[in-house]
Amino acid sequence: MGIAENVQAEKFQNLPLDLKGITKKFPGIIANDNVEFTLREGEIHTILGENGAGKSTLMNIIAGLYPADAGEIKVFGELVNFTNPRQAIEKSIGMVFQHFGLFPHRTVIENIAYGLEVRGNKKAERIEKSMEVLKMVGLDGWQNNYPRELSGGMQQRVGLARALAVDYANKGIKINAI
């Protein structure tokens, strides 16, 4: 194998995300039928499809909310089999939900810090990193408010900040579900 081929092979081994044959059935419908998807480092993708096409289902599978019926998922070359979202967060997969998915009983900053909590970061570091991300999404000053006190767009930015916070110190994959 030449150097160029070696580099190429290495790149493929370390793909941030590589899906093969993902299939998911719900009663009476195949939501995902043998889906293939590859994400290379630095890429940004949009998955388009009509209502009910299976976009959210695929994102939910990647984020560990549902298991796939068949197929395999590799994250940075490692075969994964998530049985809950916590395991996906541990592998740096962040998800911004179509319907926000914020914790109503947690303040804005506590929502943003959630992923860092799951990853075991210390409290002072969680708050410091989350405050930086809060500023990045333009919500400085809202840290102690509850989600219900924010507009829809602001709540969506909290969801985005929560996904970004996980990625802030680590390499990560973010999913923006539609």
Ligand X SMILES: Nc1ncnc2c1ncn2[C@@H]1O[C@H](COP(=O)(O)OP(=O)(O)OP(=O)(O)O)[C@@H](O)[C@H]1O
- 53 near ligand X, judged by CB under 6 A: yes
- For position 55 contacting ligand X by CB under 6 A, the verdict is yes
Contact residue for ligand X among 31, 133, 161, 163 (CB under 6 A): 31
Shortest-Cβ-distance residue relative to Mg ion: 56
For residue 110, give Cα distances in angstroms to 50, 102, 144: 35, 10, 8
Say how far residue 115 (Cα) sits from the centre of its chain.
Answer: 10
Please name the amino acid found at residue 147.
Answer: P
Residues between 58 and 87 that touch ligand X (CB under 6 A) = none
Q: Check residue 156 for interaction with ligand X (CB under 6 A).
A: no
Number of residues in contact with ligand X, rule: CB under 6 A?
12
Structure tokens that stand for 62 in this block: 């990647």
Q: Kindly state the tokens that stand for 29.
A: 């419908």
Vertex 93: Cα angle to 103 and 72 (nearest 5): 125
Does residue 49 bind ligand X (CB under 6 A)? yes
Query: Does 169 sit near ligand X (CB under 6 A)?
Result: no
The binder of 31, among Mg ion, ligand X, none, by C-beta within 5 to 8 A per type, is: ligand X
Report 52-91 residues binding Mg ion (CB under 5 A).
56
Q: Say which residues have a Cβ less than 8 Å from residue 32's Cβ, sequence separation at least 6.
A: 22, 23, 24, 54, 57, 58, 61, 68
C-alpha–C-alpha distance, residues 96 and 49, integer Å: 18
The answer to whether 130 contacts Mg ion (rule: CB under 5 A) is no
Partner whose footprint covers residue 29, from ligand X, Mg ion, none (CB < 5 to 8 Å by kind): ligand X
Rounded to a whole number of angstroms, the minimum distance from the CB of residue 65 to ligand X is 9
Residues that bind ligand X (CB under 6 A): 26, 29, 31, 49, 51-57, 178
